[in-house]
Structure 1
Amino acid sequence: MRPDMNELSLGASADDAECIFLLPNKPLLPEDEEGKQLTSADVAHIIELNGNHWRKIFTIMAKLASPSSEDWRQFRDLQLLEKVRLVFCIEQLEDFSGLVYLVGNSFKEILPVNDQALAVGEKHTAYIYQSRVWCPYLDYRQFPNILVESLREHLKERPCLHR
């Protein structure tokens, strides 16, 4: 049986995750991999099934979460899903106190940007408040490298970048 959005998560367990990305859409998964803990070795397979769109998503995640901005490719391909958790519904955030990226506009109605949030970026903007980052969808047009670099600079003391 296919897991629904409330059950599906990918990557690290909630206890082991250095950060979580709350995403509005899930990738297609191979039927034989549904329900099992996916690892970074599965990133290439997910990209193969879902195309360039998910390659971009994983790439931006890796650029944000990699301990070194120069090694994001190796991090994406070898460590991403061991360090990062992907979830698809807000309830999956309940007991997590680490850094959470709220991706896209889908969740802003339920978890609105705090009035005291720090705005990062100019043309493309993300907002940081405590352990939450409200950010654009993980696509190069909405989330260019300059925003990635700005967020990394503002979050350099956060656990997702320095565990």
Structure 2
Amino acid sequence: MPSADYLGAPNPQLVLYLPHRPHGLAQLIDLPCARALVDANSNHWRKIVTLLAKIASPVADDWRHYRDEQLFRQTALCFAPRLVETGCWHWIGGRDNLQRFDTLHHNAQLLTDAPDISVDADRRLLLTPYPDYRQLSNALVRRIRCALGDQGFYGS
């Protein structure tokens, strides 16, 4: 699925949708690599790929290895405001970003103990603040992992 709108696995378990592209995307499309993406960009992108790894890693404490060795074999980044058709989970980060998806209909419910995070299990949709440490603390990452785990995300 090589495209300027997509970076990562052809059949991902989780796609993170973002409103902007990293520098050097054209060089990364054929061989996606978290380290190369971070090296070609700013600390901002290190935070994004780290949070993606913390949420997607099958083993919570192994997120560093997962980020460096597996991230784009099992996840993807999408920069277009439309969900990819892969049967995966879709993570839209940021309220402004969500507004770009003007035809997206969902029934996402707020998590009771994390009111800025919503899940629509039927659509396999995760809505969160923008993926940045200030907005997605480790406690919120744990809560997201719990919500995804309750939906069988880590067991598949």
Range class of TM-score, shorter chain:
0.7 to 0.9
5+ unaligned residues in a row in structure 2: which ranges? none
For residue 44 of structure 1, report the CA deviation from its aligned partner: 1.2
Please show how residues 53-132 of structure 1 align to structure 2 within 5 Å. 53-91=44-82, 93-109=83-99, 110=102, 114=106, 117-119=109-111, 121-122=113-114, 125-130=116-121, 131-132=124-125
Q: Deviations over 1:91-135 (max 9, x none)?
A: 3x242332110111223332678455132544x621001210111
Counterpart residue number, 1:141:
134
For residue 36 of structure 1, report the CA deviation from its aligned partner: 1.9
**Counterpart-to-counterpart distance in 2, 1:111 and 1:120:** 26
Normalization by structure 1: what TM-score? Answer: 0.80
Tell me which moved more, 66-75 or 151-160: 151-160
For residue 158 of structure 1, report the CA deviation from its aligned partner: 4.1
Verify the 8 A CA contact 1:120 1:151 in the aligned structure 2: no
Identity of aligned residues (%): 28
Q: Deviations over 1:136-156 (max 9, x none)?
A: 111100111110000101110
Normalization by structure 2: what TM-score? Answer: 0.84
- Indicate the RMSD between aligned Cα atoms, in angstroms: 2.4
Q: Aligned partner of 2:6: which letter?
A: S
Verify the 8 A CA contact 2:7 2:28 in the aligned structure 1: no
Number of aligned residue pairs? 151
5+ unaligned residues in a row in structure 1: which ranges? none
Pair 1:156 & 2:153 matched: no
**Which consecutive segments of 4 or more residues in structure 1 shift more than 6 A?**
none
